Amino acid sequence: MRQKGDNSMGTLFVEDTDILVTKSPFSAYEGERKKFDGRLNGISLDHIMIKVKREDVFGVDFDILEAISELEFATSRMITQYLNLKGIKIEQGKVQNRLNFLNKLTIISRYKIVNDESETNTRIYCLERVGKYLLISRDIPCKWVATDSARPLSMMKRILARNQVILTYKSRVDNIEKYTVNPIHKIRATNKDLKTDLQIVFNNHQGMNETYLFEVARSYEGCLEKTVETLKTYKEYVDYFSPTPTMTEPPRLILVGEDDKHLFEIFKQVLTHKIQPSNRDFLYTSDLRVIGGELSRSLIQFTIVKENNKFKPKIQELNFDLLKQA
């Protein structure tokens, strides 16, 4: 079921329940690379401003730019979902047409994913310098800096997977109080910062707030080590946690992986490095678990069981009432 007031029905090319894939497009693929898919020669700011004054760049374009600014990297589908959730009824086809126009004007950039044999249908959009100027001209905050557009593919896909969590959760559950992208929690005892990809505060059945952190992991070279370091820092955060009036206990951490096999590789690292916090087990989910089926059953944990004198991993699918859909 959809959340009451969700305006996305019928505006997307493909609904979540109709997505039939065996591997997430935001996973790592062998031999893939990003390819710039925009103008190589720039357009003068004066030319673009003439377009704005003539209202060739108009209202919905600013909504699209704001969506891209907040999401950092996004597909046309994500941008449509974002706008629908803000109450802006618009179809993905129209969003895609406007993205093409903004890309031609170099207000935004577009990338496509290719490998040695083919290219995918995935088009990834990000803001450019003029896009930031236009947002600021409308008093819309924008944190974009020039290096954002040059991020590596591994980081782009991690951000896309994070955005998928945000948009799916916002679409399907109605007890989200707020969310924060790239939250930072200070560990005062060690003067370290715990940096994760996402924080969501839910209102539980007792009317109390529960905070969850999301760390998105990918299987690109070097990414597993980055995930392990984040989990070590999280353990320190839990070990040294001091209650505050707004947070009486440390938030739970949910790891978002590419698939169950990838998640198990992370679980093995947790065991190897002994970084499981006491009395606070990690929760796990994957890209496809997020968009497929009931969110309340999308979270899993790993256990080790003994069968025929051998230890084997077992997936325990959780029934998570906090994520019951409206």
Q: What is the CATH number of the domain that holds 22?
A: 1.10.10.10
Question: Does residue 53 sit in the same domain as residue 128?
Answer: yes
pLDDT at 5: 43
Give the model's pLDDT for residue 119.
63
Is residue 127 located within the same domain as residue 217? Answer: no
- 190, 299: one domain: yes
44, part of any domain:
yes
pLDDT at residue 1, rounded to an integer: 33
Asked if residue 200 is part of any domain, the answer here is yes
pLDDT tens for the chain, 326 residues: list them. Answer: 344 445 555 776 666 555 546 789 999 998 899 999 988 787 888 888 899 889 899 899 999 999 999 999 999 999 999 999 999 999 999 999 999 999 999 999 999 998 865 566 789 999 999 999 999 999 999 999 999 989 999 999 999 999 999 999 999 999 999 999 999 999 999 999 999 999 999 999 888 899 999 999 999 999 999 999 999 999 999 999 989 888 889 999 999 999 999 999 999 999 999 999 988 899 999 999 999 888 999 999 998 888 888 888 899 999 988 887 65
Q: Are residues 200 and 292 in the same domain?
A: yes
Instruction: Please check whether residue 279 lies inside any domain of the structure.
Output: yes
Whether residue 26 lies inside any domain: the answer is: yes
Which pLDDT score is estimated for 16? 59
Shared domain for 75 and 202, answered yes or no, is no
> Given this model, what pLDDT does residue 234 score?
97
Kindly report the pTM of this predicted structure. Answer: 0.90
Are 189 and 319 in the same domain?
Answer: yes
30 and 74, same domain (yes or no): yes
- Count of domains forming the chain: 2
Residue 86 lies inside a defined structural domain of this protein: yes
Instruction: Please give the Cα distance from 19 to 296 (Å, whole number).
Output: 19
Position 261 in a domain: yes
The domain of 297 spans 175-323
Same domain, 103 and 191: no
272 & 219 share domain: yes
Closest by Cα among 76, 104, 263 to 160: 76
| Chosen domain end from 117, 151, 185 | 151
Asked if residue 186 belongs to a domain, the reply is yes
Q: Are residues 26 and 138 in the same domain?
A: yes
Residue 101 domain-assigned (yes or no): yes
What is residue 292's predicted lDDT score, i.e. its pLDDT? Answer: 87
pLDDT at position 18:
53
Same domain, 20 and 134: yes
Give pLDDT, residue 41: 81
82, 117, 151 - which closes a domain: 151
